[in-house]
Structures are given as C-alpha cells and as structure tokens.
C-alpha cells in the first residue's frame, strides 16, 4: 500500500468525508512487530487500510476499533507482548510492549458558503462550534483572509469554483455574495451540477425572487425548488448580519433534524 494513499484517506477522515478509526502506534518498548508511527484505518464496514504490525496485535486492534465506533471516544491502550510487562495481554512471546492510540472520526455535514462578507463571517462564527465542515468561497482574497474559523477557504471566480473538486452529497449551500448577478450564477451552477444538495439558501429580497427563479428556469428544465430557500432563514426577526446568520443556521438545523419552523420563503 502506498503511503500517499493512506495519507489521503486520513485527510478525508479529518475533513469529515468518511467515518473511521485511525490507530497509531505511539510507543514501543523491546522487540515486536509494531513500529512507532505506524498507522492503520478501520472503517465501519470492518475494512482496513495500513497496518500496525499484523498478527495478534492487529486483530486485537481491529476488535478494539469496533468498540470505539460504539463509544465514539478516543483511547490509549498499552499491549503486553510477553508475560512480564504491564498492559493488555496478547499471548505473544516476542517481548516488550506497544501502545496504540485510537482516534475516532465521524462523517460531518458539509456547508458551502458563497460569500465572505458580513453575513458569511457571522455564519462561520456560529457554525464553527457545531459539527459542520465549513467551506467559504469568494473572489476577494482580502475578504477570505479575514474569515476566522472556516475549515476550508477557496479563492476564485464564483462561476469556476468547485468545478474540479469533490463536493459532498447532501451538503448545505448558502449563497450570500455581494452581487445579485453572482447569486444567480451560483444558484444555477448548483442546479446544473450533480451535487445533490440537501439545502440551498440564498440571501435575497422577495422582490428579486421571481427574477432569479425565472433565470434559473431558463437554464434548467423543471428545477426542483423544494430544497431551495429564498429568502433564506426562519422568521425570528432582526436584520443585522449576526441576526440573519442565526436565522439561517436555525433553518438549517430545523431541516437537519426535521423540525417544523416558519420559513421566510413561505411568508
């Protein structure tokens, strides 16, 4: 197995694209099959990638990883590779011991925010404390650099971004650019893709709704507007960037947990 393949899979776990347990050999003493720094991934399907030494210790590590999926808690375990050392017994006779660290990763919900302006910044400020992987997109480099808390920031033209990147299915898309023309370009781009979003919300006035939807329908046949929220947010009041951001996040949470709320689009 190539090291870059393992590293790529580890990166995807950190991004929240997959669930898995990363097992790392953090310490070895004496002789044994495990090497410090060795890594292995165990997936919920029991498939594995990498190795922590093979044999009995690896079988025990895989079994332990399965319990980690249930507890969802990281754990440090010391394994005894002979009959004299402290640690969990392995019935191995090669001597020494090995300490393995189990790190649990769950699939995250992905949110793509188009626009790093005032509302975009406030969205990230609140979302960063929730279990979302946040990507912010803008064509203004200086504005992107001011965003604090995003997991990923993409600089580029709105019509071109994400073209050559893997976009997570069932993701949440929030459109809050600085021009209505760009808002429309992004909306049409989403509907022309195969991204299969769970939610698309646009910061816009009701007066612009018909214009934006007419343009969408001129480029996309029978677009499914059931998951499109325009104007975005729930009807909780307030018109500052922070209040609008809270309204949007409340709407996303309601959709995620299938709760009934009063959407602004239905007002």
Domain stops at, among 105, 131, 150: 105
Domain housing 36: 3-105
Nearest alpha carbon to residue 247 among 258, 257, 264, 234: 234
What pTM was estimated for this model as a whole? 0.76
What pLDDT sits at residue 29? 84
Average pLDDT over residues 110-130: 97
Residues 167 and 242 in one domain: yes
pLDDT at 87 > cutoff 60: no
pLDDT band at 257 (very low <50, low <70, confident <90, very high): very high
pLDDT at 226 > cutoff 90: yes
Residues 126 and 97 in one domain: no
Residues 76 and 118 in one domain: no
Residues 235 and 205 in one domain: yes
What pLDDT sits at residue 84? 52
What pLDDT sits at residue 182? 96
How many domains does the chain fold into? 2
Domain stops at, among 87, 105, 123: 105
- CATH label of the domain that carries residue 186: 3.40.50.720
Residues 119 and 211 in one domain: yes
Angle (CA) 210 212 218, round 5°:
100
pLDDT at 113 > cutoff 70: yes
């Amino acid at each position: 197995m190539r090291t870059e393949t393992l590293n790529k899979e580890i990166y995807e776990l950190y991004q929240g694209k997959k669930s898995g347990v990363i097992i790392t050999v953090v310490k070895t003493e004496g002789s044994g099959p495990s090497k410090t720094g060795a890594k292995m991934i165990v997936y919920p399907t029991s498939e594995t990638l990498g190795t922590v030494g093979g044999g009995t210790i690896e079988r025990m590590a895989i079994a332990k990883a399965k319990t980690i999926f249930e507890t969802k808690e990281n754990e440090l375990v010391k394994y005894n590779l002979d009959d004299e050392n402290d640690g969990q017994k392995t019935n191995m006779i090669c001597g020494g011991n090995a300490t393995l660290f189990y790190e649990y990763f769950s699939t995250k919900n992905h949110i793509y925010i188009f626009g790093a302006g005032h509302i975009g910044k406030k969205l990230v400020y609140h979302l960063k404390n929730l279990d979302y992987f946040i990507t912010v997109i803008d064509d203004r480099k200086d504005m992107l650099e001011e965003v604090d808390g995003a997991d990923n920031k993409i600089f580029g033209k709105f019509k071109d971004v994400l073209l050559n990147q893997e976009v997570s299915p069932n993701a949440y898309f929030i459109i809050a650019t600085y021009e209505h023309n760009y808002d429309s370009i992004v909306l049409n781009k989403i509907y022309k893709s195969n991204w299969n979003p769970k939610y698309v919300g646009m910061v816009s006035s009701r007066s612009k709704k018909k214009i934006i939807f007419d343009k969408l329908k001129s480029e996309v046949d029978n677009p499914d507007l059931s998951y499109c929220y325009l104007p975005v947010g729930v009807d909780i009041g307030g018109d500052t960037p922070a209040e609008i951001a809270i309204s949007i996040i409340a709407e996303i949470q309601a959709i995620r947990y299938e709760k009934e709320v009063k959407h602004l689009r239905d007002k």
